[in-house]
Structure 1
Amino acid sequence: MHPLLGVPERQLACAEYIQALEECHARGWIRYLGACNSQRRELVLCLRKERLNRTARNREEAKVRTAKKKEVWAELEREG
C-alpha cells in the first residue's frame, strides 16, 4: 500500500508514475490480472526514493536545530 498521492510534493516528484498508474487503472478490469504491476512498482520505487531524500533532509535539519539549542543552553549557563 502506498502513501497518499494527493500531496503536492509527491505529485511533483513522481507525477509521471502516478499518471501512468492512473491511466492503467482507467483501462478497466485488466488491472485485476496484474497488468498494472510494473507501473505500480515504478511508483513505489519513486515514492521510496522521495521518502529517503526527505528523511535525510530532516535528519540534517535536526542536527542543525540540536546544535543551535546546545549553543543557546551553553550561553545561558555561562551567563547564569
Structure 2
Amino acid sequence: MHTQASDKQIACKEFFQALQACHQSSWRKWTGGCNEPKHKLNMCLRKERTDRAAKNRDEAKHNREKTKQAWKELHQDD
C-alpha cells in the first residue's frame, strides 16, 4: 500500500478504507471494479503532495530571505 497509509496519516483516510474494502472482494479486485476507488485515492494523495510541496516552497523562500537579510546586516557592520 502507499507509504502515506500509516496510522498517523489522517488525510485521505476514507479513500484508503474504501480501497481496502473493495480489495476484500477478489472478483472486483481482479476485474477492475476497484479502479474508481484507486483513482480517487491517487487524486487525494496528489493533492496532499502538491499542497505540502507548496507549503515547503513558501517556507524555503521565507528562510532564504531571512538568511539574505542576516548576511546583509553582517556585512553592514564591517
TM-score (norm: length of structure 2): 0.88
Q: Does 1:69 align with 2:67?
A: yes
Cα deviation for residue 14 of structure 1 reads 0.2
User: Counterpart of 1:63 in 2: which secondary structure?
Assistant: helix
Instruction: Give the Cα–Cα distance (whole angstroms) in 2 for the partners of residues 74 and 56 of structure 1.
Output: 27
- Give the whole-Å Cα distance in 2 for the aligned partners of 1:6 and 1:18: 7
The count of aligned residue pairs is 77
1:14 alignment partner in structure 2: 12
Indicate yes or no: 2:67 matched with 1:78.
no
Amino acid at match of 1:15: K
Between the two structures, name the one with larger relative contact order (CA 8 Å, sep ≥ 6): 1
Question: TM-score, normalised to structure 1's length?
Answer: 0.86
Which residue, 34, 37, 43 being the options, matches 2:35? 37
Q: Which residue of 2 aligns with 1:56?
A: 54
State whether residues 5 and 16 of structure 2, in contact with CA within 8 Å, keep that contact through their aligned partners in structure 1: no
Q: What 5-or-longer segments of structure 2 have no aligned partner?
A: none
Distance in 1 of aligned mates of 2:52 and 2:2: 14
